[in-house]
Structure 1
Amino acid sequence: MARIVRFHEYGGPEVLRIEHHDVAAPGAGEVRISVKALGLNRAEALLRSGRYIEMPTLPSGLGLEASGTIEAIGDNVEGFAPGDAVSLIPPLSMVRWPAYGEFLTFPASQVVKHPSSLNWEAAASVWMQYLTAYGALIDIAGLGKDDTVVITAASSSVGLAAIQIANLVGVTPVAVTRTSAKRQALLDAGAAYVIASTEEDLEARLKEISGPEGVRVVFDPIGGPIFEPLTAAMARGGILIEYGGLSPEPTPFPLFAVLSKSLTLRGYLVHEIIGDARRLEAAKAFILDGLASGSLKPVIARTFPFEEIVEAHRYLEANEQFGKIVVTI
């Protein structure tokens, strides 16, 4: 028997329960992992509250990221052995493959040997944030050295990953955050500029930074009214990549900015990368190289023990973190 986390009804963090269940033996192409740490993501809070892109049959598990050691391997698994230190590529469905548990049985194709320099907490914080940022900025937008990229919700784990990737490829990262409270931390994390959107004129500051040519790439998980100043400061032929919908307010369509500048507004899910074997291999190689060189380094906001999973979710929804929230087992 092993402890797992499930919820039997939709709601706030308090609906999460720690339960004891049998662990499935690994089948063909699968491995069983003894988990050391879990990485938390907003997607899990959305699933728990009934607002995610997939709707589970209740009760349901949840979770997208974990690190640990391989305990057993199934038939037709190559390249792994018991005792290997590994981390998980987020599955296409966390309902089918939930990660919150002491032991996990997962497809070997979703498992990666991470660099030995990473501890368990960092290893559990790698793949969701860096795959999301890589897919948008490198795979889709094709960032080049003369680019400036605007990164909103910059203190999130994905925002910080985007700042690191921008610096790795020689791009100027502009971090957008709500207030100036995290300004110095974002500068220390590698942002070239920081804009506090509730304290400054976002459009004017972006135009000041980018000059008359404007910003080619915007990476945003918020939506809502921020679309108008963002697109107003974009360059002709620019691309705004939207990977979330955190704003509770309606998102206006900036018609005249889009028409006059031939802008692309593109929705994006990391599943595009995870579900494409060729693109995923390129992403993994890029990220593993960055981790090995130290150019990419997960930022941990806070860790919680497994027994405090409810408190960890409360902290996740408080929007106070700078980086990744991790649960240790």
Structure 2
Amino acid sequence: MAHVVKFDRTGGPEVLELRETETGEPGPGELRIRVDAIGLNRAEVMFREGAYFYPPRCPSGLGYEAAGVVEAVGDGVTGFAVGDHVSVLPAFLQTEYGTYGDHILIPAAATVHRPPDLAPEKAAAVWMAYLTAYGALVEDGHLRPGDHVLITAASGSVGLAAIQTARRIGAVPVATTRTPDKKERLLAAGAAHVIVTDEEDLPGRVKEITDGRGVRTAFDPVAGPGVETLADAIGPGGHLIVYGALDTRPTPLPRATEFPALSTRTYAVFEITSDPGRLARGVAFVDAGLATGSVTPTLDRTFELKDIADAHRYMEGNSQVGKIVVTVPH
């Protein structure tokens, strides 16, 4: 029997329950994985709350990332064998599969091999963050060596991955944080500059950093009215990429009469994970970083699976720098 996290209604962390269930055998195209660690994402909090871009079907599981070992291989699956060390990618809907459990069924297409010497806690902290940063900053090819990139809410796992990704391609990462508490940690993580938005004028500080040019790209998970401030920090011909909705208020389109010409777009990691060719390129980029040490996920805190509600509460507190990981003792 497996232990899997489920919820019967949307709401706060208290709706999450660890239940005993029968996992069963993998179907065609599936793997059964013994989970050792689970990476938490803001998307799962929003899904649990009913605020995600698709609703849960209760009773629902949840979770996009995990690291573990293959226990069984379904029909038609090639390239995987029992005993393989693997990581799970965010390449499915949480209404179809989930990773919050000690034994799970997952599509083989959403699974990659991981180095056996990479600890499961680290392996569970890689793929959502680094594929998100890869797709936005590398795959489109508009960010060039020497360009400045503004990374907002930079202390999250995606923000930290974006800092490392910008460094890998020779760009200059400019991080933001609301309060000074995280400034030194962001500088230590590789940010060339950190702007404390509760204390500093963001567009003005960006103009100082860039000698008046503005950044080439702003990479933002917040959305809401604040995008107008970001737009004022972007140079002519630059890019505003919004990849989240932490601010649930309407997000205005920056007006051409008030800002230099810029491109705005929304972005989600599923642009990468739903396209086999783009996903293969993203996996190759991240794997190369893991091999050289330029991809080094930052872990903030770990919880055990039985404490999953506390892990969600901690994420909602917004005090973390890096990834929150849930470990699964066996």
TM-score tier (shorter): over 0.9
Report the counterpart of residue 8 of structure 2 in structure 1. Answer: 8
Report the counterpart of residue 308 of structure 1 in structure 2. Answer: 307
Give the superposition deviation at 1:248: 4.3
Aligned-partner residue type, residue 229 of structure 1:
T
Give the superposition deviation at 1:139: 1.1
- CA distance, structure 1, for counterparts of residue 239 and residue 288 of structure 2: 27
Give the superposition deviation at 1:168: 1.0
Percent identity, aligned pairs only, is: 51
- CA distance, structure 2, for counterparts of residue 245 and residue 57 of structure 1: 21
Name the SS for the 1:238 alignment partner.
Answer: strand
Q: Deviations over 1:82-111 (max 9, x none)?
A: 111100011330110111111111111111
Name the SS for the 2:256 alignment partner.
Answer: helix
Report the counterpart of residue 228 of structure 1 in structure 2. Answer: 228
Give the superposition deviation at 1:250: 4.1
Q: 1:269 to 1:33 in 2, by over 3 A?
A: same
- Tell me if structure 2 keeps the 8 A contact 1:35–1:103: yes
- CA distance, structure 2, for counterparts of residue 205 and residue 61 of structure 1: 44
Give the superposition deviation at 1:216: 1.0
Q: Give the TM-score, by structure 2 length.
A: 0.97
- CA distance, structure 2, for counterparts of residue 63 and residue 10 of structure 1: 15
Aligned-partner residue type, residue 83 of structure 2:
G
Aligned-partner residue type, residue 283 of structure 1:
G
- Tell me if structure 2 keeps the 8 A contact 1:2–1:21: yes
- Tell me if structure 2 keeps the 8 A contact 1:91–1:97: no
- CA distance, structure 2, for counterparts of residue 65 and residue 169 of structure 1: 26
Q: How does 1:1-329 map to 2 (within 5 A)?
A: 1-256=1-256, 260-329=259-328
Give the superposition deviation at 1:27: 1.6
Between 4-13 and 222-231, report the one with greater CA deviation. 222-231
Give the superposition deviation at 1:214: 1.7
Aligned-partner residue type, residue 328 of structure 1:
T
Between 163-172 and 136-145, report the one with greater CA deviation. 136-145
Q: 1:130 to 1:257 in 2, by over 3 A?
A: farther
Q: Give the TM-score, by structure 1 length.
A: 0.97
Q: Deviations over 1:38-95 (max 9, x none)?
A: 0000111101111011112211000000000001111222211111110001133011
Number of residue equivalences: 328
Between 5-14 and 240-249, report the one with greater CA deviation. 240-249
Between 127-136 and 221-230, report the one with greater CA deviation. 221-230
Give the superposition deviation at 1:249: 4.2
Q: Deviations over 1:103-158 (max 9, x none)?
A: 11111111111123310100011110001111011112532112110000000000
- Tell me if structure 2 keeps the 8 A contact 1:122–1:298: yes
Give the superposition deviation at 1:314: 0.2
Between 226-235 and 181-190, report the one with greater CA deviation. 226-235
Aligned structure 1 segments of 4 or more residues deviating by more than 6 angstroms: none
